[in-house]
A = this chain, B = another copy of it.
Amino acid sequence: MQVTVLGAGSWGTTVATLVAQRNNAVLWARNAQHAEEITKEHTNSTYLPGFTLPQSVTATSDLEEAVHAADVLIMGIPSQSFRTVLTEAAKLLRPWVPVVSLTKGLERGSHLRMTQVIEQVLPNNPAAALTGPNLAKEIMAGNAASSVVATRDPTLGRALQDVLRRGLFRVYTNDDVAGCELGGALKNVIAIAAGMAEGLSAGDNTRAAVLSRGLQELTRLGVALGGRPETFAGLTGLGDLVATCMSPQSRNRYVGEQLGLGKPIAEILASMTMVAEGVKTAPVVMELAEQYGIDLPICDRVNRAVTGEISAAEAYLGLLRVRPGSEADPY
Protein backbone atom coordinates (compact mmCIF):
# COMPACT_ATOMS: atom_id res chain seq x y z
CA MET A 1 0.00 0.00 0.00
CA GLN A 2 1.08 3.55 -0.57
CA VAL A 3 0.48 5.76 2.44
CA THR A 4 0.72 9.48 1.76
CA VAL A 5 1.20 11.95 4.59
CA LEU A 6 0.45 15.59 3.80
CA GLY A 7 2.61 17.82 5.94
CA ALA A 8 6.21 17.13 6.90
CA GLY A 9 6.14 18.59 10.40
CA SER A 10 7.43 16.61 13.36
CA TRP A 11 4.34 14.45 13.80
CA GLY A 12 3.61 13.87 10.08
CA THR A 13 7.21 12.80 9.54
CA THR A 14 7.08 10.50 12.58
CA VAL A 15 3.88 8.84 11.33
CA ALA A 16 5.47 8.35 7.89
CA THR A 17 8.42 6.70 9.64
CA LEU A 18 6.07 4.38 11.55
CA VAL A 19 4.09 3.26 8.49
CA ALA A 20 7.20 2.91 6.31
CA GLN A 21 8.09 -0.38 7.96
CA ARG A 22 5.36 -2.27 6.17
CA ASN A 23 4.18 0.21 3.53
CA ASN A 24 5.41 2.63 0.95
CA ALA A 25 5.42 6.02 2.74
CA VAL A 26 5.39 9.32 0.86
CA LEU A 27 5.53 12.69 2.60
CA TRP A 28 4.29 15.86 0.97
CA ALA A 29 6.05 19.08 1.97
CA ARG A 30 5.01 22.43 0.55
CA ASN A 31 8.65 23.48 0.35
CA ALA A 32 10.69 21.70 -2.38
CA GLN A 33 13.98 22.01 -0.49
CA HIS A 34 12.40 20.52 2.59
CA ALA A 35 11.14 17.57 0.47
CA GLU A 36 14.55 17.13 -1.12
CA GLU A 37 16.29 17.04 2.25
CA ILE A 38 13.97 14.24 3.44
CA THR A 39 14.44 12.15 0.27
CA LYS A 40 18.17 12.69 -0.19
CA GLU A 41 19.57 13.31 3.29
CA HIS A 42 17.01 11.20 5.20
CA THR A 43 16.67 13.94 7.77
CA ASN A 44 14.10 16.58 8.70
CA SER A 45 16.42 19.01 10.42
CA THR A 46 13.75 21.70 10.92
CA TYR A 47 11.24 19.60 12.82
CA LEU A 48 13.12 16.48 13.96
CA PRO A 49 16.73 17.58 14.39
CA GLY A 50 19.10 14.76 15.26
CA PHE A 51 17.00 11.90 13.87
CA THR A 52 17.65 9.81 10.77
CA LEU A 53 14.62 8.76 8.74
CA PRO A 54 14.32 5.33 7.13
CA GLN A 55 15.48 5.10 3.49
CA SER A 56 11.97 4.03 2.54
CA VAL A 57 10.48 7.42 3.50
CA THR A 58 10.53 9.75 0.52
CA ALA A 59 9.10 13.22 0.10
CA THR A 60 7.82 15.40 -2.71
CA SER A 61 6.48 18.93 -3.03
CA ASP A 62 4.24 17.85 -5.94
CA LEU A 63 0.76 17.37 -4.50
CA GLU A 64 -0.50 15.42 -7.52
CA GLU A 65 2.39 12.95 -7.34
CA ALA A 66 1.82 12.49 -3.59
CA VAL A 67 -1.95 12.15 -3.61
CA HIS A 68 -2.77 10.36 -6.84
CA ALA A 69 -1.18 7.02 -5.93
CA ALA A 70 -2.30 7.12 -2.28
CA ASP A 71 -4.15 4.12 -0.83
CA VAL A 72 -4.41 5.91 2.50
CA LEU A 73 -4.23 9.70 2.89
CA ILE A 74 -2.96 11.06 6.20
CA MET A 75 -3.42 14.73 7.03
CA GLY A 76 -0.66 16.29 9.14
CA ILE A 77 -1.78 19.88 8.41
CA PRO A 78 -2.57 22.52 11.10
CA SER A 79 -6.27 23.08 11.73
CA GLN A 80 -6.40 26.54 10.15
CA SER A 81 -5.07 25.38 6.72
CA PHE A 82 -6.51 21.86 6.89
CA ARG A 83 -9.55 22.58 4.69
CA THR A 84 -7.58 24.47 2.04
CA VAL A 85 -4.97 21.73 1.59
CA LEU A 86 -7.60 18.97 1.69
CA THR A 87 -9.71 20.74 -0.94
CA GLU A 88 -6.70 20.82 -3.29
CA ALA A 89 -5.93 17.17 -2.56
CA ALA A 90 -9.56 16.11 -3.00
CA LYS A 91 -9.44 16.67 -6.76
CA LEU A 92 -6.50 14.26 -7.00
CA LEU A 93 -7.58 11.51 -4.62
CA ARG A 94 -9.00 8.22 -5.88
CA PRO A 95 -12.46 7.11 -4.67
CA TRP A 96 -12.93 5.20 -1.39
CA VAL A 97 -9.45 6.05 -0.12
CA PRO A 98 -9.68 6.65 3.66
CA VAL A 99 -8.48 9.99 5.02
CA VAL A 100 -6.87 10.04 8.48
CA SER A 101 -6.46 13.29 10.44
CA LEU A 102 -3.47 13.81 12.73
CA THR A 103 -4.59 17.31 13.70
CA LYS A 104 -5.77 18.22 17.19
CA GLY A 105 -7.83 21.34 16.90
CA LEU A 106 -11.13 22.87 15.84
CA GLU A 107 -11.65 24.90 12.69
CA ARG A 108 -11.96 28.60 13.46
CA GLY A 109 -15.45 29.99 12.85
CA SER A 110 -17.18 26.68 12.09
CA HIS A 111 -15.88 24.99 15.31
CA LEU A 112 -15.73 21.75 13.31
CA ARG A 113 -13.53 18.81 14.17
CA MET A 114 -11.08 17.72 11.46
CA THR A 115 -13.00 14.54 10.51
CA GLN A 116 -16.08 16.72 10.08
CA VAL A 117 -14.08 18.88 7.68
CA ILE A 118 -13.03 15.70 5.82
CA GLU A 119 -16.67 14.61 5.62
CA GLN A 120 -17.65 17.98 4.15
CA VAL A 121 -14.84 18.10 1.59
CA LEU A 122 -14.85 14.38 0.72
CA PRO A 123 -18.28 13.00 1.64
CA ASN A 124 -17.60 9.66 -0.09
CA ASN A 125 -14.23 8.91 1.48
CA PRO A 126 -14.24 7.43 5.00
CA ALA A 127 -12.73 9.69 7.66
CA ALA A 128 -10.66 8.72 10.69
CA ALA A 129 -8.44 10.38 13.30
CA LEU A 130 -5.22 9.16 14.90
CA THR A 131 -4.90 10.75 18.34
CA GLY A 132 -3.45 10.09 21.77
CA PRO A 133 -0.46 10.88 24.01
CA ASN A 134 2.18 10.92 21.26
CA LEU A 135 5.17 13.18 21.64
CA ALA A 136 6.89 12.76 18.26
CA LYS A 137 10.47 12.84 19.49
CA GLU A 138 9.90 10.09 22.04
CA ILE A 139 8.45 7.83 19.35
CA MET A 140 11.37 8.59 17.02
CA ALA A 141 13.67 7.70 19.92
CA GLY A 142 12.00 4.27 20.12
CA ASN A 143 10.05 4.65 23.36
CA ALA A 144 6.75 2.82 23.76
CA ALA A 145 3.58 4.80 23.09
CA SER A 146 -0.11 4.11 22.70
CA SER A 147 -2.50 5.81 20.33
CA VAL A 148 -6.07 5.49 19.10
CA VAL A 149 -7.47 5.30 15.60
CA ALA A 150 -10.97 6.72 15.79
CA THR A 151 -13.46 5.86 13.10
CA ARG A 152 -17.12 4.93 13.03
CA ASP A 153 -16.61 1.80 10.90
CA PRO A 154 -14.97 -0.99 12.97
CA THR A 155 -13.73 -2.84 9.85
CA LEU A 156 -11.90 0.24 8.65
CA GLY A 157 -10.66 0.80 12.21
CA ARG A 158 -9.02 -2.62 12.31
CA ALA A 159 -7.54 -2.17 8.83
CA LEU A 160 -6.04 1.22 9.75
CA GLN A 161 -4.80 -0.23 13.04
CA ASP A 162 -2.72 -2.63 10.94
CA VAL A 163 -1.38 0.16 8.75
CA LEU A 164 -0.43 2.43 11.66
CA ARG A 165 0.82 0.14 14.42
CA ARG A 166 4.41 -0.87 14.88
CA GLY A 167 6.18 -2.84 17.65
CA LEU A 168 6.25 -0.32 20.49
CA PHE A 169 3.66 1.98 18.89
CA ARG A 170 0.39 0.45 20.08
CA VAL A 171 -2.77 1.50 18.26
CA TYR A 172 -6.20 0.92 19.80
CA THR A 173 -9.51 1.44 18.02
CA ASN A 174 -12.42 3.58 19.22
CA ASP A 175 -15.68 4.30 17.38
CA ASP A 176 -16.38 7.47 19.41
CA VAL A 177 -14.82 9.80 16.86
CA ALA A 178 -16.22 12.99 18.39
CA GLY A 179 -14.95 12.07 21.86
CA CYS A 180 -11.47 11.14 20.64
CA GLU A 181 -11.00 14.29 18.56
CA LEU A 182 -12.42 16.63 21.19
CA GLY A 183 -10.14 15.31 23.94
CA GLY A 184 -7.08 16.13 21.86
CA ALA A 185 -8.37 19.57 20.92
CA LEU A 186 -9.58 20.68 24.35
CA LYS A 187 -6.77 19.31 26.51
CA ASN A 188 -4.42 22.09 25.43
CA VAL A 189 -6.44 24.66 27.38
CA ILE A 190 -6.10 22.62 30.58
CA ALA A 191 -2.38 22.17 29.86
CA ILE A 192 -2.04 25.96 30.03
CA ALA A 193 -3.78 25.91 33.44
CA ALA A 194 -1.42 23.17 34.65
CA GLY A 195 1.53 25.21 33.41
CA MET A 196 0.24 28.28 35.26
CA ALA A 197 0.09 26.29 38.51
CA GLU A 198 3.65 25.14 37.83
CA GLY A 199 4.84 28.69 37.20
CA LEU A 200 3.20 29.77 40.45
CA SER A 201 5.15 27.00 42.25
CA ALA A 202 2.12 24.97 43.30
CA GLY A 203 2.85 21.35 44.18
CA ASP A 204 1.77 17.89 43.07
CA ASN A 205 -1.56 18.14 44.93
CA THR A 206 -2.49 21.29 43.02
CA ARG A 207 -1.32 19.81 39.73
CA ALA A 208 -3.44 16.70 40.35
CA ALA A 209 -6.44 18.87 41.23
CA VAL A 210 -6.06 21.04 38.10
CA LEU A 211 -5.82 17.89 35.96
CA SER A 212 -8.85 16.22 37.56
CA ARG A 213 -11.09 19.27 37.63
CA GLY A 214 -9.85 20.20 34.14
CA LEU A 215 -10.69 16.74 32.80
CA GLN A 216 -14.13 17.15 34.29
CA GLU A 217 -14.63 20.42 32.36
CA LEU A 218 -13.30 18.87 29.17
CA THR A 219 -15.66 15.91 29.63
CA ARG A 220 -18.66 18.12 30.33
CA LEU A 221 -18.13 20.14 27.16
CA GLY A 222 -17.13 17.08 25.12
CA VAL A 223 -20.26 15.17 26.09
CA ALA A 224 -22.41 18.17 25.13
CA LEU A 225 -20.65 18.13 21.74
CA GLY A 226 -21.43 14.43 21.19
CA GLY A 227 -18.56 12.47 22.83
CA ARG A 228 -18.95 9.61 25.32
CA PRO A 229 -17.79 10.24 28.92
CA GLU A 230 -15.57 7.12 29.07
CA THR A 231 -13.61 8.28 26.01
CA PHE A 232 -12.40 11.37 27.89
CA ALA A 233 -11.08 9.12 30.68
CA GLY A 234 -9.02 7.18 28.08
CA LEU A 235 -5.87 7.66 26.01
CA THR A 236 -7.19 10.50 23.82
CA GLY A 237 -8.52 12.58 26.76
CA LEU A 238 -6.83 11.89 30.07
CA GLY A 239 -3.79 10.23 28.45
CA ASP A 240 -3.08 13.13 26.14
CA LEU A 241 -3.80 15.59 28.97
CA VAL A 242 -1.29 13.86 31.28
CA ALA A 243 1.43 13.76 28.62
CA THR A 244 0.82 17.41 27.72
CA CYS A 245 0.71 18.64 31.31
CA MET A 246 3.83 16.74 32.36
CA SER A 247 6.12 16.97 29.40
CA PRO A 248 8.66 19.77 29.31
CA GLN A 249 8.27 19.47 25.50
CA SER A 250 4.69 20.79 25.62
CA ARG A 251 4.29 24.25 24.16
CA ASN A 252 0.95 24.80 25.89
CA ARG A 253 2.35 23.94 29.29
CA TYR A 254 5.24 26.30 28.55
CA VAL A 255 2.88 29.20 27.82
CA GLY A 256 1.09 28.59 31.12
CA GLU A 257 4.35 28.33 33.04
CA GLN A 258 5.60 31.63 31.66
CA LEU A 259 2.25 33.28 32.51
CA GLY A 260 2.59 31.85 36.01
CA LEU A 261 6.04 33.40 36.28
CA GLY A 262 4.44 36.76 35.48
CA LYS A 263 5.52 37.29 31.86
CA PRO A 264 3.06 39.14 29.60
CA ILE A 265 1.37 36.93 26.99
CA ALA A 266 2.59 38.99 24.01
CA GLU A 267 6.20 38.54 25.10
CA ILE A 268 5.73 34.79 25.59
CA LEU A 269 4.16 34.24 22.19
CA ALA A 270 6.76 36.41 20.47
CA SER A 271 9.53 34.22 21.90
CA MET A 272 8.09 30.98 20.46
CA THR A 273 8.71 29.58 16.97
CA MET A 274 5.93 26.98 17.06
CA VAL A 275 2.23 27.49 17.73
CA ALA A 276 0.67 26.79 21.15
CA GLU A 277 -2.74 25.53 20.00
CA GLY A 278 -4.35 26.07 23.42
CA VAL A 279 -4.03 29.85 23.10
CA LYS A 280 -6.27 29.68 20.01
CA THR A 281 -8.56 26.98 21.36
CA ALA A 282 -9.38 28.80 24.63
CA PRO A 283 -11.68 31.45 23.06
CA VAL A 284 -13.35 28.77 20.87
CA VAL A 285 -13.99 26.66 23.98
CA MET A 286 -15.62 29.63 25.72
CA GLU A 287 -17.80 30.33 22.66
CA LEU A 288 -18.95 26.72 22.72
CA ALA A 289 -19.48 26.81 26.49
CA GLU A 290 -21.75 29.82 26.10
CA GLN A 291 -23.59 28.22 23.18
CA TYR A 292 -24.29 25.06 25.19
CA GLY A 293 -24.81 26.85 28.53
CA ILE A 294 -21.97 25.06 30.35
CA ASP A 295 -19.89 26.43 33.24
CA LEU A 296 -16.15 25.93 32.68
CA PRO A 297 -14.37 27.88 35.44
CA ILE A 298 -10.82 26.70 34.64
CA CYS A 299 -11.13 27.23 30.87
CA ASP A 300 -12.67 30.65 31.49
CA ARG A 301 -9.73 31.74 33.65
CA VAL A 302 -7.22 30.41 31.13
CA ASN A 303 -8.99 32.29 28.36
CA ARG A 304 -8.86 35.53 30.34
CA ALA A 305 -5.20 34.96 31.14
CA VAL A 306 -4.16 34.24 27.54
CA THR A 307 -6.02 37.30 26.31
CA GLY A 308 -4.17 39.37 28.93
CA GLU A 309 -7.32 40.38 30.80
CA ILE A 310 -6.07 38.97 34.11
CA SER A 311 -2.74 37.69 35.45
CA ALA A 312 -2.08 34.03 36.21
CA ALA A 313 -2.09 34.81 39.93
CA GLU A 314 -5.50 36.47 39.61
CA ALA A 315 -6.82 33.53 37.59
CA TYR A 316 -5.62 31.11 40.20
CA LEU A 317 -6.96 33.02 43.20
CA GLY A 318 -10.28 33.56 41.45
CA LEU A 319 -10.67 29.80 41.13
CA LEU A 320 -9.87 29.27 44.80
CA ARG A 321 -12.26 31.94 46.01
CA VAL A 322 -15.38 30.04 44.97
CA ARG A 323 -16.51 27.53 47.59
CA PRO A 324 -16.68 23.96 46.32
CA GLY A 325 -19.91 21.95 46.31
CA SER A 326 -20.41 18.39 45.12
CA GLU A 327 -17.65 16.89 42.97
CA ALA A 328 -20.17 16.62 40.12
CA ASP A 329 -20.76 20.41 40.09
CA PRO A 330 -18.64 22.75 37.96
CA TYR A 331 -17.25 24.65 40.99
Contacts and interface: CB of A to CB of B under 8 A. Distances in A.
Interface in A14-52: none
B205 A146 contact: yes
A207 interface: yes
Given A205-B145, A326-B172, A239 B219 contact: no
A141 interface: yes
Contacts of A132: 209
Nearest to A134: B205
A134 B206 CA distance: 9
Interface in A229-268: 229-235, 238-240, 242-243, 246-247, 249
14 contacts: A138-B205, A144-B202, A144-B209, A145-B206, A148-B327, A172-B327, A173-B325, A174-B326, A204-B243, A208-B239, A211-B238, A212-B233, A212-B242, A230-B328
Interface string A159-185: 001000101101111110000000000
Contact of A239 (B139, B175, B211): B211
Given A229-B230, A327-B174, A143 B208 contact: no
B326 A146 contact: no
A109 interface: no
Given A148-B327, A204-B247, A212 B229 contact: no
Nearest to A154: B326
A216 B242 contact: no
A133 B174 CA distance: 30
A185 B148 CA distance: 29
A242 B211 contact: yes
Nearest to A246: B204
A246 B207 contact: yes
Contacts of A235: 208-209, 212-213, 327
A7 to B, nearest CB: 20
Contacts of A270: none
Contacts of A139: 205
Among A208, A320, A328, which residue has the most Cβ atoms of chain B within 10 A?
A208
Contacts of A243: 204-205, 207-208
A293 interface: no
A133 B232 CA distance: 20
A92 interface: no
Given A174-B327, A208-B243, 14 more contacts: A133-B205, A133-B212, A141-B203, A143-B205, A145-B203, A167-B320, A170-B324, A173-B327, A208-B240, A212-B235, A216-B233, A229-B233, A235-B327, A246-B246
